[in-house]
A and B are shown apart, each in its own frame.
Chain A
Amino acid sequence: MQTYSYYPGCALERNAAVYHDSLMAVAESLDLTFTEVADWNCCGATEYITIDLIPAYALVGRNLALAAEQNCNGRSLVAPCSACFLNLKKADHYLAQSPELNRKVNQALAAGGLHYEPGSVHVKHLLEIITEDVGFEKVARAVKRPLFGLKIAPYYGCLIVRPVFDGTFDDAEQPTSMDTLMRTIGAEVVDFPAKAQCCGGHMTQISEAVALHLIHQLLKNAVDHGADVIAAICPMCQLNLDAYQDAVNKHYGTNFHIPILYFTQLLGLAFGFGEATMGIGQELVDARPALANIQVKPLKPVKRKRPSKTELPMPPKLQEVRSCLKNE
């Protein structure tokens, strides 16, 4: 049993409540305990920092200080939203790097009777905890109903893989950890080269043209590669791809109907939870038709066509990550 401090972030209170519910269920199956940081506040998203610097860091600083205060035995702090994750992690990192910023932020915190020592909270994203701390083997053991035949495009977005701080856990351009995780629960992972591209973030509010372009590119890429479902790890990504699909279709004359589910919803289904428990149906693009593709048996592996005689060899992959699920 492993215990973490838990920072849900604003989106998980409402818009992404299914993310919260499903991750809590999944955590239990994986023997994880998430203790919510009491009285946490908004991380400021990407907005506070655009107006005022020290208050933006103080805002995040309060969360870090609370987490440190309530976190008696040096646990890690888990954030399921990529924006929260980055804000927390970056603030900790930058406070440690610049003494002056640290001094100012702590002076502000002192006005609320708080103090934060940079480096005392180890911030991790939920995906990182499941793939690294828990590990694929343990996940595989929790699988009761493998998602055989379901074609998933694992979508990472930006802020979990970029920027790169020491110890960022996956590749900044072509990450693979969630691919392996999805294979571990029996799903088919489609090639999805756009997997770490931007969902548009708040551009939906500022320039729809830019946002729709980015969302279109992502949806098209996943659909081009035959995905049934896109797996998301961030409420902002989920919202943009889900809620703006209609707008994209209107704008580009396309006809996408690809559901966007949180990766924890998919894990939960594989761990045997019911669709209702996993909040399936809360998404705007209904996932149920796609989930009907789940098979009882693994798909027959597609026979790799024999390379032609003239074909030149490819360089081997830098690190071949393979699923550890044994498809018996």
Chain B
Amino acid sequence: MPQERIGVYVCHCGSNIAGTVDVEELTAWAGEALRHRGVVVARDYKFMCSSLGQDLIAKDIKEDALTRVVVAACSPHLHEATFRKACADAGMNPYLCELVSIREQVSWVHTDKAAATAKAKAVISGGVERVIHHAPLEPMSVPINPATLVVGGGIAGIQAAMEIADSGFHVYLVEREPSIGGHMAQFDKTFPTLDCAACILTPKMVSIGSHPHITLLTYSEVEQVDGYVGNFNVTVRKKASYVNSDLCTGCSVCEEKCPKSVIDPVFEAGLGYRKAIYRSFPQAVPKFPVIDADNCIYFDTGKCKACEIHCEAGAIDFEQEDQILELNVGNIILATGYDLFDARRETQYGYGRLANVFTSLEFERLTNAAGPTNGNIVLRDGETTPKSVGIIHCVGSRDRKFNNYCSVICCMQSLKFAHLVKERTGAEVFNFYIDMRTAYKEYDEFYQRVLSEGVHFIRGRVAEVTDVSNTPEEEDKLVIQIEDTRIGRQRRIPVDMVILSAALEPRHDSDEVAHQFGISCSVNGWFIEKHPKLDPVATMTEGIYIAGCAQGPKDIPSTVTQGAAAAARVLGRIQQKEMALEPIRAEVTEALCSGCRICNNLCPYTAIVFDEAKEVSVINAALCQGCGTCVAACPSNAISGTQFSNEQVMAQLHGLLMLNIMEPVVS
């Protein structure tokens, strides 16, 4: 007599499953063939996940005194939680419910109905065998530290930090550069409305700098992350700025007096200079400058100190050292943004070789009133206004040699540039595009506007930008060679200036950052979200959220939306005060552990530590995500996974092979 009373529930999923699997036969079979294993009811229903479907299960649990439930439907990713909750509501321990997939693993991948039905039977049989070995589990709960770490002070990080801090919870905002602001601070105007980037950004930056609930850590980087959701320990290195921020008034006299001028590859995108002591830009937040020791004359030769001599506040401190800070936070938001594609890699466009080929970020600085040319759009000589300008879309994007994706913003950014060039110089403007992607609110309208301004739009991807001239009118010009795909003819268009709308790329160090925080990157290098559609700001690691371009290329509105969304998720967590963790964990049987430590470094969540006294490995249940890596790796078989014990897995295999019902086949 079987000990358990099991209910089997087969979902049609509309025609998703029923179209390929004979669900009626399957249900009847489960009720009959698995009766000796404890199946007392078997039902099928059109949509098991609907409330009516769930009611069916609940009713049986109560009336038939079920002790186990097997649902044959979609992937556990989608509805495991649904059915567990249905069971719990009916008074059964939710971990006694097993969801087996006959959609992703059966109906969607097969066409032969008879074979698919047979396979579905095996899948259910495996589920039944396995569920027999399930044990009731209780979820663990961990307290949530209400402080939050935000990494990256671009517009995504600013938005997220602000929303959390405004709700009264503390935020540590860590930014690598001397000022927050990110890429947006480099722009002059923002599409589609063309409002001034600084006008809308700097007030937000100022509020961050003065917010009582925000600790702003600029010129800082995260060194190490330990712990788990609700209780992370973060080590931050605050680089020595050699300026005492308690004394500095932000007067910028030091910057004026510093004799050492260097090209600024970050904020000025290489198009302008800064001093060895510098603020990224005049409205920098915080307002304190930093000394770039690599370029400072004093650090090189021991002489100079002009900044110190002229600083009336006496804020210069050459003895300052890096500071190591330890932070405790409950949640983390990564908003590290993007890098611009290195356009020198696309040699045929001549960037780095031909003076008047500019990148998009260089152009942003060129148009910016606070930029190196005070906003004058001029050639590399710094003086001549171009009479004709070519803007090339998709540089480094949508190209299998570089990045296989569309960078989303550059069509709009190229339209913005076309408008600005037209407006400020009256030059002839040519936009070269493969196809125009203006999909968002008010974006196509902006395209219409630029069309009305007399900009030439040539459909085709530019073949090359060359200074090899064939005719007198090409002399001393940059010639854009292209097939104009509207007419199927080659054209050579001489221009004075070329702007390359370069791709957005993952930060060069995104892999290391991802690893540091225990999340992963997609093949293209962007941080991977928990679900691309339904959970775009969470990650597979509890307590770590992502926002803005770190998750993938996007415009400012979407970046801000994600920043706010991540903040809302964090606030939700904080309000819960504590959170339940899935009790699916690995456990070490101390008696079996030989102390070899093989598992210690394998754990992707760094959940395993070594107990030196007992000489055994110990798993931190709150950190463990139940991935099973250590279980498989342990040479002494000392680790087992709850819900994934050897017994359970072997039983499921036994069921899958139908060894539970079939007489041995004699051939």
Which residues on A are within 8 Å of B, measured CB to CB?
171-174, 193-194, 197, 217, 220-221, 224, 308-318
Contacts and interface: CB of A to CB of B under 8 A. Distances in A.
A300 B467 CA distance: 27
B271 A313 contact: yes
Main secondary structure of the interface of B (DSSP, over half): loop
Interface in B402-436: none
B140 interface: no
Contacts of A314: 352, 355, 380
Secondary structure of the A contact surface, majority rule: loop
B381 A310 contact: yes
A173 B346 CA distance: 9
A318 B352 contact: yes
Contact of B468 (A172, A193, A316): A193
A310 B344 contact: no
Interface string B330-368: 000000000000101101100111010000000000000
A217 B382 CA distance: 31
A309 B261 CA distance: 13
B383 interface: yes
A172 B466 contact: no
21 contacts: A172-B347, A193-B467, A193-B468, A194-B468, A217-B470, A220-B470, A308-B382, A308-B383, A309-B382, A310-B382, A312-B372, A312-B373, A312-B380, A312-B382, A313-B263, A313-B270, A313-B272, A314-B352, A314-B355, A317-B344, A317-B352
B344 A318 contact: yes
B380 A311 contact: yes
Contact of B271 (A174, A309, A312): A312
Contacts of A221: 468
B281 interface: no
A308 B467 CA distance: 22
Contacts of A194: 468
Given A308-B382, A314-B380, A197 B353 contact: no
Question: Residue among A194, A220, A312, A313 with the most chain B CB within 10 A?
Answer: A312
Contacts of B383: 308, 310
B503 to A, nearest CB: 16
B270 A173 contact: no
A316 B271 CA distance: 11
B531 to A, nearest CB: 36
Contacts of A318: 342, 344-345, 352
Contacts of A173: 347-348, 464
Contacts of A313: 263, 270-273
Interface of B: 263, 270-273, 342, 344-345, 347-348, 351-353, 355, 372-373, 380-383, 464, 466-470
Given A315-B344, A317-B352, 11 more contacts: A173-B347, A193-B466, A217-B468, A310-B381, A310-B383, A311-B380, A312-B380, A315-B270, A317-B353, A318-B345, A318-B352
Contacts of B345: 318
A312 B272 contact: yes
Contacts of A316: 352
B499 to A, nearest CB: 14
A193 to B, nearest CB: 5
Of listed A173, A174, A194, A220, residue having the most chain B CB within 10 A: A173
Contacts of B466: 193
A173 B345 CA distance: 11
A185 B622 CA distance: 67
B222 to A, nearest CB: 29
B418 to A, nearest CB: 21
A313 to B, nearest CB: 5
Contacts of B353: 174, 193, 317
B427 to A, nearest CB: 18
Nearest to B382: A310
A142 to B, nearest CB: 31
B355 to A, nearest CB: 6
Given A316-B352, A318-B344, A318-B345, A311 B382 contact: yes
A251 to B, nearest CB: 14
Contacts of B347: 171-174
A172 B349 CA distance: 12
Contacts of A315: 270, 344, 351-352
Contacts of B352: 314-318
Nearest to B346: A173
B167 to A, nearest CB: 44
Complex A-B, nearest 8 residue pairs according to Cβ-Cβ distance, in ascending order: A310-B382, A173-B347, A318-B344, A194-B468, A173-B348, A315-B352, A174-B347, A311-B382
Nearest to B264: A313
Contacts of A171: 347
A217 B469 CA distance: 8
Contacts of A311: 380-382
A148 B261 CA distance: 37
B122 to A, nearest CB: 35
Contacts of A317: 344, 352-353
A217 B479 CA distance: 14
A232 B470 CA distance: 22
Contacts of A217: 468, 470
A193 B273 CA distance: 30
